[in-house]
């Protein structure tokens, strides 16, 4: 059973869903120096530019020109094209700037998230809407992380492990904690969707969430925590029968939020 945040993708890795949505998509770094000169030369050309011609124009060795061109292609700033040929042989390779806006511009996703969170908070029942939206994404992300459904006879440990993987991939740094505190124990923070008696006939565990992908926004807009609760609920419902997340205690501890899970009791 996993007891901490392990297997987290590296800083340059991104979780991608089937429709191409990325959990963390950063703009490529704007080129500078010689690489910027290469990019500008290709953009100025009305036709695709061949390596030899570019190297001659900029006074570069062809291998140096190719190195910068390949790097610009990897960043999505240029694209390769094969020129037509009249006879046998491999078609010559050329490069051109793709149509579209410059992808190296600044991103303001936090501003967008704040605008959407503000609109959500103004609805008649923002917590219900936010929880439902989170649940939709939780189901999708659980399916992505799992790759294939767990077998019907999957153990409780396997189900909880998969839920922790979903949370870990999203940057929550989950920590499994057993046993749960006794009832009536004091906890800080506000309580979201607590259900009295939800543990009756079932086992309960707690998960500490030591990071928050939207920390600053969550402090300003509590409705963000409802999105997180819904996300966990949607993922749990997809992962296994009987696994659920009755409540989330935002900022319940000095260094963590706490989610309470209920799981089927072992026979």
Q: What confidence tens digit (pLDDT) does each residue in 172-198 have?
A: 999 988 654 444 444 444 555 543 333
pLDDT in tens, 36-51: 999 999 999 989 999 9
* Assigned fold of 33-96: Arc Repressor Mutant, subunit A (1.10.10)
The CATH architecture annotation of domain 109-264 reads 2-Layer Sandwich (3.30)
What is the rounded CA–CA span in Å between residue 129 and residue 266?
34
Task: Average the pLDDT over 154-169 and give the result.
Answer: 88
* pLDDT attached to residue 267: 54
Tokens 């009305």, located at residue: 46
Of residues 189 and 204, more confidence is placed in 204
Task: Using DSSP bridges, classify how beta strands 244-253 and 174-177 pair: parallel, antiparallel or unpaired.
Answer: unpaired
Of residues 27 and 95, more confidence is placed in 95
pLDDT value at 151 more than 90: no
* pLDDT attached to residue 79: 93
pLDDT in tens, 222-260: 899 999 999 999 999 988 777 899 999 999 999 999 999
* pLDDT attached to residue 202: 52
Task: Average the pLDDT over 206-230 and give the result.
Answer: 92
pLDDT value at 14 more than 50: no
Residues 6+ apart with CB under 8 A from 237: 135, 138, 139, 243, 244
* pLDDT attached to residue 265: 66
pLDDT-above-70 percentage for the chain: 76
* pLDDT attached to residue 115: 92
Q: How confident is the model at residue 263 (pLDDT cuts 50, 70, 90)?
A: confident
- Burial label, 205 (beta-carbon count in 10 A; 0-12, 13-18, 19+): middle
Of residues 237, 40, 229, the one with CA closest to residue 149: 237
Residues 6+ apart with CB under 8 A from 254: none
Of residues 10 and 111, more confidence is placed in 111
Domain boundaries, the chain: 33-96, 109-264
pLDDT in tens, 66-125: 999 999 999 889 999 988 777 676 778 899 998 877 777 777 888 888 899 999 989 999
CA dist list (Å): 42 to 72, 93, 109: 11, 13, 30
């Amino acid at each position: 059973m996993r007891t901490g945040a392990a297997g987290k993708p590296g800083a340059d890795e991104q979780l991608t869903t089937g429709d191409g949505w990325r959990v963390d998509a950063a703009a490529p770094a704007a080129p500078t120096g010689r690489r910027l000169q290469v990019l500008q030369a290709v953009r100025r050309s009305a036709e695709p530019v061949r390596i030899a011609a570019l190297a001659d124009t900029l006074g570069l060795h062809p291998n140096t020109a190719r190195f910068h061109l390949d790097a610009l292609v990897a960043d999505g700033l240029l694209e390769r094209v094969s020129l037509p040929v009249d006879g046998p042989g491999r078609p010559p390779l050329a490069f051109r700037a793709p149509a579209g806006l410059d992808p190296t511009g600044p991103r303001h996703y936090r501003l967008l998230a704040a605008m959407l969170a503000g609109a959500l908070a103004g609805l008649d029942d923002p917590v219900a809407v936010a929880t439902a939206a989170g649940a939709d994404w939780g189901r999708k992300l659980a399916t992505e992380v799992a790759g294939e459904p767990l077998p019907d006879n999957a153990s409780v440990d396997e189900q909880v492990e998969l839920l922790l993987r979903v949370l870990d991939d999203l940057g929550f740094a989950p920590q499994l904690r057993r046993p749960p505190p006794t009832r009536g124990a004091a906890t800080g923070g506000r309580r979201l969707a607590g259900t009295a008696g939800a543990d009756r006939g079932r086992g309960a565990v707690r998960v500490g969430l030591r990071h928050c992908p939207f920390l600053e926004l969550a402090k300003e807009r509590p409705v963000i925590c409802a999105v997180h609760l819904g996300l966990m609920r949607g993922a749990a419902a997809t992962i296994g029968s009987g696994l659920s997340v009755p409540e989330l205690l935002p900022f319940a501890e000095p260094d963590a939020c706490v989610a309470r899970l209920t799981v089927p009791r072992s026979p």
